Structure 1
């Protein structure tokens, strides 16, 4: 008996030791170099959170010199040459170099945009606070060169400012090619930037230099029309976009009297698209097509892409990222994505993220801030620009609106289930106009819902006394009042996309609305609420706003992409707790 008890006690201690060892092993990262620590274990790292942005655990060994200034001669086709006060088209490059041993070739991380202005306090010879300063601090000491480049018509670059047009694209591509051909260069160039400086990444990849190996577009639009129109609904800023950019870099000098071929049609195109799309007002010239970047990228680019986006970005909405991510994957490219519940920001800006509003990212704070992002990019650039390490996985790291992060092989995930609700049973139908709206609410949910993807709402509507109309649909947690997402559509674009069709007054149509990308959770017992208005947020009312459209008494299907991720699912991961 005593012997049996002794054996039992020994067995218990043995099992206990094994279990403790297993737990200990799970939390042990001592066997990894800092850049090798897996994503799901990075929260265990002893990172430095005292800096203004994410920092690498180990500082690089090199000092740096710079900036040196260079002008790159660009060959432009005749139709892209400027008029007024023409001169040689030159791209201005400011360059910082690591002090590496003689004979060592280095890759380049470059950022390109029109916001460098020598008349003010932000010339491109001063590292900018978006990309330049951070790259100079974190990556140049590890053996990368930094280039800051002004687009045509800005800074010291000559030529006219052809806002995101063919001339600008050619200039960007020429500057990238020049960087890759320098005697100190290893021939590999990566681009990185946010907003306009993210769009230039796509521009460079449209007809890319063979030296362009990777791009990291951060909230960079895939096209100008795509930036301002969602299912035909127009943002208010679209009307003055081109004109404002032309004026932003103008001054009382002859270089600002140069004219691009598109300077006349650019400011007019948003107005004709808004008012006359169904009559060809969006197709009377090639202004929009010339500034749609993605198709050329799909046709011509063979490098890698790291897409960064805020799910609450209202400047360049996240629908630019999806389905772009999967389209690039389908082409055979290695593509990574990181999508948090921030706005038009970088992933590692806690001082910015803390100012988000409820329903617009606040609920995801503080986990929204990724102070391990520098490690992500260290591995990315090391592989694609230096050929060091293993190829990063194609995956999407995405954050739910309550702050929790999960990683998916693609997004929306392949295992989503579509839950369809007939919202005509949620309340009364009626007319939506500038003076009337509709609110619909579901029954309390029988279980928690994790919506992960782009919901659709196929609204059955009747045009009223006008040849158009618009719907703006806001989805909310009707119990807590929390905003979850939105969709908008102009009736002329009822099939989605960018092809306008005519509208006959009093005819019935199906508006195939698609919501912006959403990754949100609605608790059990809560209700889903739809607020349907004629316009909302930063979108213009339609030209038929006073007449509006009427939701008819018919099935009104709302389709929700749902995923099931139990807490034990290994796709959830914790982020480094910078706030503790």
Structure 2
């Protein structure tokens, strides 16, 4: 009997040892090469957090030389050869090369924008602090070339600055093609950049060179009108945007007086769109259409896309990224996304992220900063530019406003469930104008709510004595006071999008409002507040602000996209703890 008991006890200990061994194995990454460590295990890596940006665990073996300067001839159509500029249209390229063995062909990572200025301290022959310096430190030693390129009319590039127009697009595409055709190139070019330097990624992909294999747009607008207008509501900077770009890229040299024909049209278009949309003021020329990049990308591009966006970006709002992500997927492209609660920044900038305000990303700090981002791009570029490793998986890594990260096949996720509310029962309705607003509050929530997507509010309204109006809706946690998201709409664009319709005073309409992308949590017992004002944040008041519009005493449907992710759901993941 005692022998039997001893055998049982021995078996229990052995089984326990096996279980503990398996548990230890879950945290064991020693069998992986550093670039193979799965996303959900990267927090176990011993990464170097001492640098200004994310660094690769292993330094490359190559030194580099450069910069060398080149001018790329561009074949512009006659309509883009603006009178008064007889010199040949040339794109200026600064190039850094890894010192690889003779005969070794290398791919190129390029960044393109108009902010390189030789009259100042930031020519394209000095690696910029956005992409250039980081790529030079992390990727060139691994066998990539770096190119910094000035758009037309900026830096040493000739011609005039056709801000995001056809001439600029053709120049960018020609420079990419040139990089892919050089005798030292393996024929594969990737573009990367933030803001304007992200928009040039989309421009390159509109009528792409076959050498363009991947783009990494970081807060890069999919179109000019799309950048400054949301459901017809105009940002204040839209009024001077063309002049502001010209001023931001001008230097002390006389060639900065160069202007394209479209520069005479550009400054007028925001004003006619704002004040005269119902009379065709938004369609009196093709200025906006020529600068809408996404449709051409969908029609013509066959490469990969890695979209990077801040959910609290107020410069280029995250609605550019969604539904763009799924639209690209639907065209058969491999698309990846990383969306944190940062602003108009890079994912790996802790010194910038720590300055975010409450309701605008602060609650997500310090987990908002992704100091493993260099590993993400190492695998991405290795596959698409060198043909090394497995193809990266299409997915969206997205951060909730409380800091927690989850990964989804797409975003909004396919398993979203819509939670419907009639906000006419949340409080008193009335007129919203420059002198009056409305606050509506829900009952306390019966359970925790994870909003993940773009909520909608189909406001039932009546125009007052003016032929227009506008609503700006701010959603917040009414218990904690935390801002969660917003929506805005001009009544003339009541169906959403960019097609205006006339408004008759004292007539009733449905405003199909859509909130900016949100991934937020509201605890059980808290209430949801909707503050409805005539305008808000950085948007202009409407031309009918004083008259306003009235919310009708009828059902006012609010739809919230909800997902259910238990704490043990495998889609949650931890990020490397750089702050420890």
Task: Compute the TM-score of the two structures, normalised by the length of structure 1.
Answer: 0.99
Higher mean Cα deviation, 250-259 or 479-488?
Answer: 250-259
- Contact kept, 8 Å, 1:96 with 1:147, in 2: the verdict is yes
Contact 1:84–1:259 (CA under 8 A) maintained in structure 2: no
Give, in whole Å, the separation in 2 of the partners of 1:153 and 1:258. Answer: 7
Unaligned runs of 5+ in 2: none
Counterpart CA distance in 2 for 1:546 and 1:428 is 20
Checking the alignment, whether the CA contact within 8 Å between 2:116 and 2:249 is kept in structure 1 is: no
Counterpart CA distance in 2 for 1:257 and 1:113 is 18
1:98-156: per-residue Cα shift (whole Å, max 9, x none)? 00000000000000000000011000000000000000000000000000000000000
Q: Distance in 2 between matches of 1:555 and 1:191?
A: 48
Deviation of 1:234 (Å): 0.2
More off after superposition, 77-86 vs 142-151: 77-86
Aligned partners of 2:347, 2:257: CA distance in 1, in Å? 39
Cα distance between partner residues in 1 of 2:544 and 2:101: 68
- 8 Å Cα contact 2:119-2:251 kept in structure 1: no
**How far apart, CA to CA, are the structure 2 residues paired with 1:272 and 1:343?**
30
CA distance in 1, matches of 2:396, 2:502: 39
Summarize deviations over 1:399-453 as a string: whole Å, max 9, x none.
0000000000000000010000000000011000000000000000000000000
Hey, what's the Cα distance between the residues in 2 that align with 1:84 and 1:51? Answer: 48
Q: Distance in 2 between matches of 1:289 and 1:157?
A: 25
Is the 2:154–2:256 Cα contact (8 Å) retained in structure 1? no
CA contact 2:119–2:252 (8 Å) conserved in 1: no
CA distance in 1, matches of 2:414, 2:58: 38
How many Å apart are 1:251 and its aligned residue?
A: 4.9
Partner of 2:164: 164
Deviation of 1:14 after TM superposition, in Å, equals: 2.1
For the aligned residue pairs, the C-alpha RMSD in angstroms reads: 0.9
Is the partner of 2:450 in helix, strand or coil? strand
The Cα shift of 1:261 comes to 1.9
Q: Contact 1:367–1:404 (CA<8 Å) still a contact in 2? A: yes
Check conservation: 1:469, 1:491, Cα contact below 8 A.
yes
The alpha-carbon deviation at position 10 of structure 1 amounts to 1.9
The CA distance in 2 between the partners of 1:257 and 1:154, in whole Å, is: 11
Contact kept in structure 1, 2:452 and 2:519, CA below 8 Å: yes
Return the offset for 1:2: 2.7
C-alpha deviations, 1:231-280, integer Å up to 9, x for none?
00000000000012223334565423433120111000000000000100
Q: Deviations over 1:451-472 (max 9, x none)?
A: 0000000000000000000000
CA contact 1:79–1:261 (8 Å) conserved in 2: no
Change (3 A) 1:447 1:164: same
5+ residue gaps, structure 1, are none
Deviations 1:172-202 (A, max 9, x none): 0000000000000000000000000000000
Q: Is the 8 A contact 2:120 2:251 kept in 1?
A: no
Asked if 1 retains the 8 angstrom alpha-carbon contact of 2:221 and 2:320, the reply is: yes
In structure 1, how many angstroms separate the alpha carbons of the residues matched to 2:166 and 2:71? 20
- Aligned equivalents of 2:183 and 2:80: distance in 1? 30
Which residue of structure 1 lines up, in the alignment, with residue 134 of structure 2? 134
Partner residue, 2:535: 535
CA distance in 2, matches of 1:502, 1:21: 70
